Chain A
Amino acid sequence: MAGILGGQPSPQHPSECLEPAVLLVDDQPANLLALRAILADLGLNLVEARSGEEALDRVPATEFAVILLDVNMPGLDGFETARLIRKRDESRRTPIIFLTAFDSERAQVEQAYSLGAVDYLVKPLLPVIVRAKVIGFVDLFEKTQQVRRQAELIRKMERKEFEKKLDEENARLREQREWLRTTLASIGDAVIATDREGRVAFLNPVAENLTGWRADDAVGQPLERVFPIINEYTRRPVENPVAKVLREGVIVGLANHTILVSREGREIPIDDSAAPIRTPDGEIAGVVMVFRDVSEARRAAEIRHHLAAIVESSDDAIIGETLDGIILSWNAAAERLYGYTAAEIVGQPLSILVPPDHPDEVPALMERLKRGERVEHFETVRVRKDGGRLTVSLTLSPIKDGGGRIVGASKIARDITDAKRHEVELRFLAGASAALAELQDVPTTLQKVAALAVPHFADWCVVDVLGPDGRLERVAVAHADSAKGEVARELSRRYPPDPSAPRGVWNVLRTGTAELVPEVTDAMLVEFAKDEAHLRLIRELGVGSYLGVPLAMRGKTIGVITFLSAKAGHRYSLNDLRLAEDLARRAGIAIENSRLYADLREADRRKDEFLALLGHELRNPLTPILNALQILELRGDEPAAVRRARAMIGRQTTQLTRLVDDLLDASRIARGKVRLAVERLDLGALVRTTVGDHWIEAESAGLTGEIDVPPGPVWVKGDLARLAQVITNLWNNAIKFTPAGGRVSIRLEVDGAEAVLSVSDTGIGIEPAVIPSLFQAFHQVGAAPARTKGGLGLGLAVVKGLVELHGGRVEAQSAGSDRGTTFTVRVPLDRSGSSLEQSHDRKRTRTGKGQRVVIVEDGADAADSLRELLELKGFEVAVARTGPDGVALCRRMQPEAIVCDIGLPEMTGFEVARTLRADPATAGSVLIAVSGYAQEDDRRQAQEAGFDALLAKPAEIEELTRLLTNPRVES
């Protein structure tokens, strides 16, 4: 630059050659060829050098108009070469244009300038620019040569003659200098030149703009004033480069982070270099300083660094790749995700990461990228360095160069294996819960659960449930691969789960705790296998991971859900275990619900059938009663017809009463409402009396009766009436189910601490399967219609309930259909001693001989029937129809007991009770309420009013009798 500014040619080496010479230095022949091609038609002498050394050899021989010097060369690099060229006098001022790579560091450019480069060209070369620059320097060179030639001319010609020419020439030179100045002024960088005192001599417009000084004002000012610079961080003034250049005569570059403070106070980060201006004889005439605003570049660099840091610190893998699928960049997250280091994988094809079963994926993605499409959240599977598979979500974007050409792709990969898994789990659990909520039967429910587990959660899912016989039942099987399903089936058929195995289904069942084997090894299989064939089969199954969880219902393990994962599949973790346990818990609840639901449905069905049967049984006796009434009407004058009709009505009414009694008993037993009037009694005597009463029924059915009771008393504690009911029911039951010609027998014996009563027949018998449900109320419903025998099937339920209330038990044995039946009742013996109160005489304990009873009841029918019944029992009875009448009657009669309706006119039963209790004449009477309402609340109210007991209407006569004679049994 100094040469240009000075405008003084230095005629050291007159060139022999007429064409201006240009030295091209590059180690690559191809680059040389390119340069030559670009410059070929400019009429230049193009001299080539393949290295710095060769260039140095060329320099002394020829005076070059310009040197194009490659920076990156083996051996002597461009900078070193330039430095050496500059050292030589003959080439001290030869302009050098550096050739630099496209992506050269800024530092390189700085260095180039500091070495006095006039310019630099970026590879790949743009011919227009190369030519323009070279032409510029060649022109300059030619001008210089011309000046030199003219000087020689002057010497050769008459001075005078040529003075004018010289003047002209000088004028032209001035003009040229002006042109150079203009050029300088037009340069994109700021330029300031100073004189040797460091005062500003020249300021181009860019420099004016940056410093805020107009050239007119600045010229003559000390540089420090026009160009004050500080360090960005310390904020301290930085030594002005000009001073250093003037002092040391060297080219000085500015340190980084230098800030120019403009005249108006604006701070501009700059980058500059200052070089001495030397006169042709080498003296320093001033300094030229070239600087530029680097804020843009700085910002760009900062952004670049920032972006790079973002990429590097990203949690997502960010990968750069070519359109051919070659990996170009690889961040730390990619390293973590895939297990490869950047060094290992950059330059490798992407296919390394792709599982073999996705061969077409990468080409298809690349096709889309080449079309300029962006691919977002593409979910697929990739392979890690260690062979593990992961589910990733990929987002790919094409990368375009400055010209908009797609040159590659950036890819962001996110590991969604866990998220995916979680999603699968949630879906599985949600699906299972929905399926479980459907209240279907248990096998259907479990089959649904198993089916839902496959294939996302397991490759096989098996549900085993403990059957009633203590054996495992495989209730549900689901598998992803039907061929493997076949193997699994064969396995379970040939090698059912071994109860003694330390691991597996039975262990889960035994312990109620889950088993988790994340990695099933071959060694485990070998240990597990029973024999070679077994081992072969389980190897064939290819189980990779195993999870077994207990299926529990009300805290009891009832089965096991087994999940198996194939070798290449998922490895179960504690997380999966928790999920499976959660599922099993839900399944357990569902099974329980399902069973409850089935029970409810069954109970509901039985109730419906029972109601139908009840209707049938109640209707049946009504028909002959109605017929008999009609007969009475038509033939009331015929004694025989009347007798028949009456007998018919009597029989059928008895039957109806029995049905209703059975129904009420069964219902009361079921609700736990039966209270026993317990006394010490001789069961032997009771059996004899009761069977004696019903002997005739066996005979009229054409049966032989047998009775076998020990001669001495068999003491038990019990309710005489209820035990008599048990005996009657069993006896009648035996008669009912034994065809004519058969035999019914009853036997009582003492076995240890128990009295054992057995009733046997030779009748139709019972299928063993039916026996467990025999004692359930309404059981007869399920039997074939022809087997029903005019009854509600409640008798045995009543027997069971009553026997159990006595602390005993009842069971049935039958050898099967038509092989007869034996019912056995066991009740504890009473060994308490005293035989004085052997009061098993029903009549004595149950009658109210001589007792006076007042009935307060407004319903005439109810009052009359109750009066008749009580009179039959030996009571002396009086009736009042209203509360006040009742109270008056009681005061007059002072009865032992009073039976009072609650819903009375004028005065409620409660009021009657309170009045009677308040009167000393009646306060001691037994007071029994009868009411259509007998809920807990009604009872409490009755008690509060002073009643001893409350009976539901219609009051059962036996119960009433018992209460009237012994009310304190009631609590």
Chain B
Amino acid sequence: MDGLNRPRVLCVDDNRDIADSEAELLRIVGFDARVSYDGPTALALAREFLPDVCLLDFNMPAMDGDELAVRLRRQSPGRRILFIALTAMGDSESRHRTNAAGFHIHLTKPVDPDALLRIVRELWSGLSADSCRSKS
């Protein structure tokens, strides 16, 4: 993970401490992480930040995580973005919704920070291997 090709992660949560701490942890382990605390801001930020991975809280005022995921994808057609849902609810209805919105991973709060980092790392390595293959 060199400085030029650091994977970009967007952390969105209306609980600022969650978004901030996620981003800080990711930065510590070498990702380029940004935060926003609501959906509309996240959409605006994503336009220039072009995240590879989005860590989205599922229940947020103004715009829920599933709507945000759909709009982020629509906003960047052709780009490969990995979506991780973070939700306090692990029930089947939430899973159904995250699945419908195209999330790749559904994490239930509280997420063990080690586990979170491991998942993001693996997602990233899979993503870069894919892009290497597609380039070759």
Contact = CB atoms under 8 A, between A and B. Distances in A.
Note whether A and B form a binding pair. Answer: yes
Interface of A: 612, 615-617, 619-631, 634-635, 641, 644-645, 648, 651-652, 785-790
A626 B110 contact: yes
B41 to A, nearest CB: 13
Contacts, number: 78
A623 B24 contact: no
Interface of B: 15, 17-18, 20-22, 24-25, 28, 59-62, 64, 86, 88-89, 91, 108-114
Contacts of A644: 20, 24
B25 A789 contact: no
Nearest to B63: A786
A529 to B, nearest CB: 58
Given A627-B25, A644-B20, 19 more contacts: A619-B108, A620-B15, A622-B110, A623-B111, A626-B113, A627-B18, A627-B21, A627-B22, A627-B113, A630-B113, A630-B114, A631-B24, A648-B17, A648-B20, A652-B17, A786-B60, A786-B61, A786-B62, A789-B61
Contacts of A652: 17
Contacts of A641: 24
A39 B65 CA distance: 125
B18 A631 contact: no
A432 to B, nearest CB: 40
B59 A628 contact: no
Contacts of A619: 88, 108-110
B116 to A, nearest CB: 8
7 contacts: A616-B89, A621-B15, A624-B17, A627-B18, A628-B21, A786-B59, A789-B61
A630 B112 CA distance: 9
B11 to A, nearest CB: 10
A788 to B, nearest CB: 8
Contacts of B88: 615-617, 619-620
Contacts of B61: 786-787, 789
Nearest to A616: B88
Nearest to B13: A623
A616 B59 contact: yes
A631 B89 contact: no
A819 to B, nearest CB: 19
B112 to A, nearest CB: 7
Contacts of A790: 15
A623 B59 contact: no
Contacts of B21: 623-624, 627-628, 631, 645, 648
A648 B23 CA distance: 13
B18 A620 contact: yes
Nearest to A634: B28
A527 to B, nearest CB: 61
Contact of A631 (B28, B60, B62, B86): B28
A790 B25 CA distance: 24
A630 B88 CA distance: 20
B118 to A, nearest CB: 12
B105 to A, nearest CB: 15
B88 to A, nearest CB: 4
A624 B59 CA distance: 16
A634 B17 CA distance: 17
Nearest to A628: B21
A625 B59 CA distance: 19
B25 A631 contact: yes
Nearest to B21: A627
A620 B112 CA distance: 13
A61 to B, nearest CB: 127
Contacts of B108: 619
Most buried by A among B15, B22, B112: B15
Contacts of B18: 620, 623-624, 627
Nearest to A630: B113
A630 B21 CA distance: 9
Given A622-B109, A790-B15, A785 B64 contact: yes
A619 to B, nearest CB: 4
Contacts of A621: 15, 17
Contacts of A631: 21, 24-25, 28
Contacts of B25: 627, 630-631, 634
B17 A651 contact: yes
A789 B62 CA distance: 11
A738 B88 CA distance: 25
A890 B59 CA distance: 54
A325 B99 CA distance: 83
A645 B25 CA distance: 11
B39 to A, nearest CB: 10
A947 B86 CA distance: 49
Contact of B109 (A620, A648, A789): A620
B66 to A, nearest CB: 11
Contacts of B59: 616, 785-786, 788
Nearest to B23: A627
Nearest to A625: B110
Contacts of A648: 17, 20-21
A471 to B, nearest CB: 38
Nearest to B112: A626
Contacts of B113: 626-627, 629-630
Of B17, B60, B64, B89, most buried by chain A (CB within 10 Å of CB) is B17
Contacts of B60: 786
Contacts of A622: 109-110
A629 to B, nearest CB: 8
Contacts of B109: 616, 619-620, 622-623
A629 B24 CA distance: 12
Contacts of A788: 59
Contacts of B111: 623, 626
Contacts of B91: 612
Contacts of A623: 15, 18, 21, 86, 109-111
A166 B113 CA distance: 162
A652 B113 CA distance: 16
A624 B114 CA distance: 13
